[in-house]
Structure 1
Amino acid sequence: MKRFFNTIPGDDACCILLHGDIGYYDSVRSADIARELLEAEATFKKIDVRINSMGGDVYAGIAIFNAFRNCKAEITIYVDGVAASMASVIALCGKPLYMSKYARLMIHGVSGGYYGNKEELKSCLKDIETLEATLCDMYAEKLQLTPEEIRTRYFDGADHWLTAEEALKLGFIDGIYDAEPIPEDSTPEQVFSHYQNHYNQSLNTDKNMFEQLKKRPLFANCANDEDVLKRIDELETTAGKVPDLEAANGKLKDEVDEYKKKENEAQEAADETLVNTAFEEGRITDPEKTVYRAALKTDREKTEAALKTLPVKRRAMDNLGAPLADGESAWAKRQKEIEAKNSKK
């Protein structure tokens, strides 16, 4: 899988970080998240999303919200620090959604500004009201409340900050997890800064890892991080071929073993024929068969030459008495011919 700015691949799942402001040109960009999400779901069945954001652009946030909602992977979202404003809406995509007991969730109405005449200002106000209606629908689905109930409770012009315990009781989240302890009386800004600093430290650790990789022989020619990633991709591609190569190697090994088996069987048959022929010709005795069989396995060439130098001791009667193809010896066959000839006289 390609490495993007906000994505950390793992063994069975990957993690997407929503750390920072949401917008088209901010830390959390909708186009980047959507692209990374499509790349991730093609590789992983489970995706963890970790949020630490004070919110941002509503339209960019809706795009991210829809990207998570339409994702085929299982999405689990964790609020590590702050999920405020539009970030709290995106958090609703988590199935499930968890918060650190030190984290904060914040809901409020849509804010915006416009410069122009009264008609243009009226249009801006209408846009804000339309966006609020959309956000009310999003919250209502999660909280099992009506959009009007959401508008009355949370879109009253105030910022509604919720602790993890409060968010759990109200149904915003599905559970609370323990994170790195921070003072419980920390302000939302302090919580956000704490986790943002932790994230930046993780990035520095990531950079150190790349520097360490460059020192290894396999990465010696890598001039920058992109070269390291390309080299890792090459290694992954090569590693992916290993199972097929092992299977092909195993098949070839079986074929070689079968060939060797047949070759050994043919050689043993040839040796047995050589020994039996030498016995039938009277070159060796029956007890000597075992000796010459063993000698043929040790040095076939010399043993075969030695057998040929031995004198043939078989008598003519032996040849005559040997059975032919039809199972009858030449001598017996000749005797029958003579008897048949004499009986006609």
Structure 2
Amino acid sequence: MKKFWNWSVKDSNRILTIDGTIAEESWFDDDVTPKIFKEELNNGDGAITLWLNSPGGDCIAASQIYTMLMEYSGDVQVKVDGLAASAASVIAVAGTTVSMASTSMMMIHNPFTMAMGDTDEMKKAIDMLTQVKESIINAYEIKTGLSRSRIANLMDAETWMNAKKAIELGFADDILQDNKKEAIDGYSFSMRTVANALWNKARQEKKADPPQTKEPMETIESLKKRLSIISH
């Protein structure tokens, strides 16, 4: 079995990475793959950071992962660092919070399938896709608060969203911050603090200096004497 997910631990934090196509080997009629995922998910506790980069895949697999993450007792912080398209967008909205890189994208569209047979079989396929779409709308509605008709229209149009658009529509909560920039800003602030401290210290030392010795003022008599000399 080729797994499309991976678990790791960093600084005691659980990291789940979903990268690539979701379920290249479909989970349909497969009680092994989802069971393994669920066991690994529940093999620990506490908050989970989910790094997501996927073009989508099997909607059944996405639905099961969505449900497992929604039922998980700890917080799930979803971070989209590349693409969360199609079925992957369903997994994304399972997060307690959803953050997107400034360069990442999210895409939602109508589900599709392949079917063959007579008109009755085609009608069954259409009915099935209609119900799948309604189930996906359920997940989007919980996350965004948008009306079902608005979400349906966005799916009909195959809507691509950058981070700001996804936040505007409610599919995401914020943009991933640049930790390097925060570190530089913090360093700059420290430098200003040091400079101000040195300046204040210099001012205090200047005030503490003993006053300069001044020459005594000339008496009136000595001044008259000097003026007398000059006049002659």
Q: TM-score, normalised by structure 2?
A: 0.68
Q: Give the distance between the partners of 1:5 and 1:151, measured in 2 at CA.
A: 29
The total of aligned residue pairs comes to 174
Map residues 1-345 of structure 1 onto 2, 5 A cutoff: 6-23=6-23, 25=25, 32=33, 35-152=36-153, 154-156=154-156, 158-178=157-177
Residue 41 of structure 1, CA deviation: 3.8
> Is contact 1:34-1:67 (8 Å) kept?
no
Q: Give the distance between the partners of 2:73 and 2:42, measured in 1 at CA.
A: 7
Residue 149 of structure 1, CA deviation: 2.3
Q: Give the distance between the partners of 1:171 and 1:161, measured in 2 at CA.
A: 14
Q: Relative to 1, partners in 2 of residues 1:40 and 1:138: Cα closer, same or farther, differing over 3 Å?
A: closer
> Is contact 1:57-1:86 (8 Å) kept?
yes
Residue 6 of structure 1 aligns to a residue whose secondary structure is strand
> Is contact 1:139-1:150 (8 Å) kept?
yes
Residue 22 of structure 2 aligns to a residue whose secondary structure is coil
Q: Relative to 1, partners in 2 of residues 1:53 and 1:179: Cα closer, same or farther, differing over 3 Å?
A: farther
Counterpart amino acid of residue 85 in structure 1: S
Q: Relative to 1, partners in 2 of residues 1:93 and 1:100: Cα closer, same or farther, differing over 3 Å?
A: same
> Is contact 2:80-2:99 (8 Å) kept?
yes
Q: Structure 1, residues 25-53: CA drift from partner, whole Å, max 9, x if none?
A: 17xx9955663454344433111111100
Residue 150 of structure 1, CA deviation: 1.1
The share of aligned pairs that are identical, in percent, is 27
Structure showing the higher helix proportion among its residues: 1
Q: Relative to 1, partners in 2 of residues 1:61 and 1:40: Cα closer, same or farther, differing over 3 Å?
A: closer
Instruction: Structure 2: state its 5+ residue gaps.
Output: 180-232
Counterpart amino acid of residue 46 in structure 1: A
Residue 11 of structure 2 aligns to a residue whose secondary structure is coil
Counterpart amino acid of residue 163 in structure 1: N
Q: Structure 1, residues 144-199: CA drift from partner, whole Å, max 9, x if none?
A: 122222112x132x32111001111111111101469xxxxxxxxxxxxxxxxxxx
> Is contact 1:30-1:64 (8 Å) kept?
no
Instruction: Structure 1: state its 5+ residue gaps.
Output: 181-345
Counterpart amino acid of residue 155 in structure 1: M
Q: Give the distance between the partners of 1:164 and 1:92, measured in 2 at CA.
A: 14
Q: Give the distance between the partners of 1:134 and 1:40, measured in 2 at CA.
A: 23
State the structure with bigger RCO (CA 8 A, min sep 6), 1 or 2.
Answer: 2
Q: Give the distance between the partners of 1:33 and 1:167, measured in 2 at CA.
A: 29
Q: Give the distance between the partners of 2:177 and 2:31, measured in 1 at CA.
A: 29
Larger radius of gyration: 1
Counterpart amino acid of residue 81 in structure 2: D
Counterpart amino acid of residue 166 in structure 1: K
Q: Give the distance between the partners of 1:160 and 1:15, measured in 2 at CA.
A: 29
Residue 150 of structure 2 aligns to a residue whose secondary structure is helix
Q: TM-score, normalised by structure 1?
A: 0.47
Residue 49 of structure 2 aligns to a residue whose secondary structure is strand
Q: Relative to 1, partners in 2 of residues 1:40 and 1:131: Cα closer, same or farther, differing over 3 Å?
A: closer
Q: Relative to 1, partners in 2 of residues 1:33 and 1:164: Cα closer, same or farther, differing over 3 Å?
A: farther
